[in-house]
Amino acid sequence: MRYLLGTDSSMPDPKRYKDEDSFMSDCIPQAKSEGKKQDQAVAMCLNMYRNRNKKKKSKAASVVIRFLEEKAE
């Protein structure tokens, strides 16, 4: 759960890998060592790799955007 909240720095950074296979081979064992089942580890790591180039919106930014959208209506 710590990783989902963005506080776990022990998971590998997918941006630092040249390909999916090398990332997955490092990520899955790490996720499993943190208590994830095999299928959960694969899904989590695959999602991390596929979303590696997406920008994350902070919760505060989401609140501001929602406020501005409601105000514009």
Query: For every residue of 11-33, which 3-state class applies, written as one string?
Result: CCCHHHCCCHHHHHHHHHHHHHH
What string of DSSP letters covers 55-70?
PPPPHHHHHHHHHHHH
Residue 61's domain comprises: 14-72
* Structural domains counted in the chain: 1
In a domain, 7, yes or no: no
In a domain, 56, yes or no: yes
CA distance 9 to 13: 9
- Residue 67 is predicted with a pLDDT of 79
CA distance 3 to 68: 30
Query: For the segment 18-55, what is each residue's pLDDT rounded down to a tens digit?
Result: 999 999 999 999 999 999 999 999 999 999 999 998 87
